[in-house]
Amino acid sequence: MKKYLKFFTIMLAVLAFMMFSLSVNAEVVKWDLPTVWSATNYQSKCLKIFADEVKEATDGQVEIILHYGGALGYKGPEMLSVVRDGLVPIGDILKNAQTGEEKFFGITSLPFLAPGVVELRMLQFFTRPVEDRIAEKHNQKILYVVPWPSRNVYTKKEISTLEDLKGLKIRTVSKEDTDLFTLLGASPIQMPWGEVVTSLATGVIDGVATSSASGVDGKFWEFTGYASRWNWHSSCDMVNVNLDAWNKLSPELQKIIETKARELEPQFWKLAVEENKEKEKILIEKGIKVYDPNPELKKIFAKLSSQIWQDHMNEVPESIKVIEDYLALME
């Protein structure tokens, strides 16, 4: 009996040593993740939660290093190609800023197609399979998405009529944004976030179309006095991983990260809505008048929207069934 006990003890010791050796020798994977947003933006807060949770869940085997505020030099519209080409293994990507690479990503920017978070979530049921295929074509995988739940127009004067918009140089993100403001008589300028505050301060642009969160990040109260809640759409950021980097991970680590992303995504959507309300309060406290567009403008918006939807579907046939299925669900 003592002989077997001694043998069992030795085997346990050998097993413990082997496990210890494996843990010591296990390679730590370090991924640099760039984002154009500041560390205080809720999108960045979501990134931090995700990075911390992944590190803990993988026992430190996967470490995601965050780089805020465009610190690595990459601009928002470049991020799909930056991740595709492996310049970084993982990245935070504003979806509707990638229409130069993939026009389908402009679908969430179609005016008043999905103007709120609930509508955006419903639309995502139909867009996500297509977006997953697009991501794979660009050598990457979508881990999770987080919405921008508001879309304000920040200006130096209140917008009450179409005449107030005439010639106004408004920063936009996507082609669909640009099309809308062009039809309204403004002079839209597509511009990545990193150039916005300087352009606003120097008069290159007169106003900005963006979220409440970004309005606070940019301290727009220093340059504008009004924010109109147009809320013509709700866009998303997606966190994508390069497939070459992804495939270097063991299946066990892949499963852990996928599971963590799936568990956290609903929490991030909730955080987005909460942050939007909080940021709007800050804008008001700082002296910006936040208001809803008048009914006459809303009628004009609705009339022009259908034209932009049709133009998009003509240009991107893949979006036709997606939009039709979504609209049938929302009836």
Report yes or no: 94 and 173 within 8 Å, Cβ to Cβ: yes
Is 289 strand, coil or helix?
A: strand
What burial letters (b/e) apply to 39-70, b meaning 16+ CB within 10 Å?
A: eebbbbbbbeebbebbeebbeebbebebbbbb
Q: Where are the alpha helices (DSSP H) in 37-191?
A: 42-57, 79-84, 117-137, 162-165, 175-183
Low-confidence ranges of the chain (pLDDT < 50): 1, 4-5, 7-8, 10, 12, 14-15, 17-25
Looking at the DSSP bridge assignments, the partners of residue 62 are 29
Q: 162, 181, 183: which is closest to 171 by C-alpha?
A: 181
Tell me the pLDDT tens digit for each residue of 185-227.
999 999 999 999 999 999 999 999 999 999 999 999 999 999 9
Inter-CA distances, 115 with 11, 17, 82, 111, 183, Å: 63, 58, 29, 7, 19
In Å, how far from its chain's centre is CA 236? 4
| Residue-level pLDDT at 7 | 47
| Residue-level pLDDT at 89 | 98
CA distance 109 to 153: 14
| Residue-level pLDDT at 306 | 86
| Residue-level pLDDT at 9 | 52
Hey, what are 39's tokens? 């560390």
| Residue-level pLDDT at 269 | 97
CA distance 117 to 238: 15
Hey, what are 314's tokens? 């003509």
CA distance 319 to 313: 6
| Residue-level pLDDT at 52 | 98
Report yes or no: 90 and 239 within 8 Å, Cβ to Cβ: yes
Report yes or no: 96 and 176 within 8 Å, Cβ to Cβ: yes
| Residue-level pLDDT at 150 | 84
| Residue-level pLDDT at 8 | 47
Residue with tokens 């697009």: 134
Q: Which amino acid is at 12?
A: L
| Residue-level pLDDT at 26 | 62
Report yes or no: 170 and 134 within 8 Å, Cβ to Cβ: no
| Residue-level pLDDT at 20 | 43
Report yes or no: 207 and 155 within 8 Å, Cβ to Cβ: yes
CA distance 93 to 316: 21
H-helix or E-strand spanning residue 291: strand 289-291
Tell me the pLDDT tens digit for each residue of 118-170.
999 999 999 999 999 999 999 999 999 999 988 999 999 999 999 999 999 99
